[in-house]
Amino acid sequence: MKLTIEINGKEYNVQIGESGQEKDSYSIVVNGVPLRARVKGETGSAPAQGAALPKPEPAARAETPTRPGPPRPDLMKPVSVEPPKAEPAGGKSTIPAPMPGTIVAVSVAAGESVKKGKEVVTMETMKMNVPIFAPADGKIKSVLVKPGESVKAGQPLVEYA
């Protein structure tokens, strides 16, 4: 049997035939898409030819905003993308770890003079080697870490003056 069915204002071309596999089993093609259907039982009598089917009640809709609300300052916190700056500590400055990681190498020793931009420590973080450079000219007072040591973000690595 071939039918044209309108559901919610949209027309569907439906072809229904017995599938022959099981009792009450049908082969249905809807707009060219083959489907299998099985009648499990009657739920009521079929409407008379040409009678209107009752309209289904619309499903409850979740309240969704149609436009975004005002900005939320509590969610818009500034994020620093620069590593922590070296801070003086009693005439001395430190070079902090920019992020957590493991010290791979120390390139300076206590008493050594360094120029701004010289690599002083190499650390591994997120499976990458990250060089840490001297932020200013100075003299290394002490090296506070050794290779293999785990460090936290902001932890002093080298002290210099």
Task: List, for residues 114-125, the tens digit of each pLDDT value.
Answer: 998 899 999 998
pLDDT at 146: 95
| CATH hierarchy code of domain 88-160 | 2.40.50.100
Domain ranges of the chain: 2-38, 88-160
Q: Is-contact 135 119, C-beta < 8 A?
A: no
Using pLDDT thresholds of 50, 70 and 90, give the confidence band for residue 53: low
- In angstroms, the CA 66 to CA 69 distance is 9
Q: Please name the residue ranges forming H helices in 11-63.
A: none
Phi, psi of 74 (to 5 degrees): -65, -20
Q: Is-contact 26 16, C-beta < 8 A?
A: yes
Does 32 score more than 80 pLDDT? no
Does 131 score more than 80 pLDDT? yes
Query: C-alpha 62: how far from its chain's center?
Result: 25
Regarding pTM above 0.85, the answer is no
